[in-house]
Amino acid sequence: MDLAVEISGVTFKNPVIAASGYPTYHPKLMKKCVEAGVGGVTMKTTSVVEQNWNKQTLAPLFYDKWGGETGTISCQYGFIQPDKAAEYLKEMKPITKKEDVVLIASIEAAASDLKGWGNLAKKCEDAGADMIENMLCCPIGFEEDTGVAAARLEGNLTNITRAVKEAVSIPVITKIGFEHDHFIRQTAPAIEKGGADAIHAHGFTTATTVINVETAEPVESGTYCSWSRGMTRGSSLHAAGAIYKLVQIPVISSGGIYTWRDAVERIMGGATATAIHTAIFHKGYKVIPPIIDGLKSFMERKSYDTIDDMLGIALPHMMNFGEFMGYLTRRLVDPSKGQYVAPKKDVVVRVNAEKCNGCEICVDCLWGAVSMVDGKAVINLEDCERCGRCWSLCPTDAIVAKIPKTGAGFENGVFT
């Protein structure tokens, strides 16, 4: 069983990358990522735009204590000065080489400054970077033609990618944020046209506001750069799958990855590698080993020998409207009348006592249909409305819901 993945001749010992951001701002922090076992580490972005060098203090705002776990707004303007970035890369190179970790430099310049992009990429290559990542996804920028603003013009993506490719001999990744399908259909081919070796895409949500009800004022101004697991997990997975279908180069995906299950989901959705930022920022470097260990255990349990065995296998089922209609059809009580909702009398719900662990999550039934008997859940079908809440919440898949007439239902965590 092998966790290794390859992108343009560069081998990652596993598909987990520490994404560019505050957790990779300094060699001291990057070393923690390496010690935690990542396959790659991307240094916080270095920029030739001087206005972006001012490191913000009190930068991150996590929404946890305002009622939004894992939500965050981050104002990390503090990109690294090029000379300092070169120092950091030189310090990290022997460490990453020893631990077989890929060292990635994230770079930024104005879209109009193609020479600046090329020179900065070359500087990072000379300092020891194994790969270059063009940062074109930050929604906050002091220049109109930087970050996500520059990425909205596909010509910029092609020209920037090409300029960096011509300046260095190491592989080049271009990183963009996912906004909507039309955006991806324009940008992904434009990046490939520029010669990129991979596309890194992540989902983000902008203009999100959270109110501190004690003061009746927003926690922040409600402008840009909000993201979290809940906000971005689905959109980032969708972006990975959409890009995978559009281009012939590998996809790296970030946004909402907190657990090994999230990483597996992203790989099955078309991502060769996964990148993590907010989870590290939110929970600390301790989140990394369980993701890698969990990925390994999952592969062993499911008899996947390599990451490639899982890569993209969920894609045939994503955005498959024919399959979705089949899903609905199997739930029809009377296909001739087009009835999509089964009367509750036609649905049987039961508990597999051997699987029930007595957690009592299902007992909070809205209809009061679930009780505990001898430490096991029991469902009263007279009171049960067959809403499916208990099935979807059960952590051990102990609850089974079936429509005997059609054979459809939910069992062992899947729709049958």
366-407 tens-digit pLDDT: 999 999 999 999 999 999 998 889 988 999 999 988 887 777
Q: How far apart are the first and last CA of the chain?
A: 30
What is the C-alpha to C-alpha distance for residues 56 and 33, in angstroms, rounded to an integer?
A: 22
The per-residue pLDDT for 408 is: 77
| Cβ-based burial of 341 (10 A; exposed 0-12, middle 13-18, buried ≥19) | exposed
Q: How far apart are CA 401 and CA 80, in angstroms?
A: 55
270 vs 288: CA distance, rounded Å? 21
Residue 241 pLDDT exceeds 70: yes
Contact 160, 134 (CB under 8 A): yes
| Residue range 344-375, pLDDT digits in tens | 888 889 999 999 999 999 999 999 999 999 99
- What are the backbone dihedrals phi and psi of residue 44, each rounded to the nearest 5 degrees, phi first? -50, 145
Bridge partners for 276 per DSSP: 18
Quick: pLDDT tens for 3-54. Answer: 999 999 999 999 999 999 889 999 999 999 999 999 999 999 999 988 778 7
Q: CA quadruple 277, 33, 263, 69: dihedral positive or negative?
A: negative
Q: Is the CATH number 3.60.40.10 carried by domain 342-415?
A: no
Q: Which residues of 243-264 are buried (b: 16+ CB within 10 A; e: fewer)?
A: bbebbebbbbbbbbbbebebbb
Please give the order of strands across the beta sheet that includes 72-74.
60-62, 72-74, 226-227
Q: Residue 365 has which token pair?
A: 């039934």
Confidence of residue 270 (pLDDT cuts 50, 70, 90): very high
Can you name the residues that pair with 46 across neighbouring β-strands?
A: 80, 107
E-only strand ranges, 143-242: 172-178, 198-203, 211-212, 217-218, 226-227
**Could you tell me the pLDDT band of residue 190, with boundaries at 50, 70 and 90?**
very high
Question: How much is the average pLDDT of 72-90?
Answer: 85
Q: What pTM was estimated for this model as a whole? A: 0.88
Topology at the third CATH level for domain 5-317:
TIM Barrel (3.20.20)
Helix, strand, or coil (residue 349):
strand
Give Cα separations from 14 to 4, 86, 262, 296, 323 (angstroms).
5, 26, 15, 10, 33
Sequence letter at residue 204? F
Percent of the residues in the chain that have a pLDDT greater than 90, as a whole number: 60
* Domain definitions of the chain by residue range: 5-317, 342-415
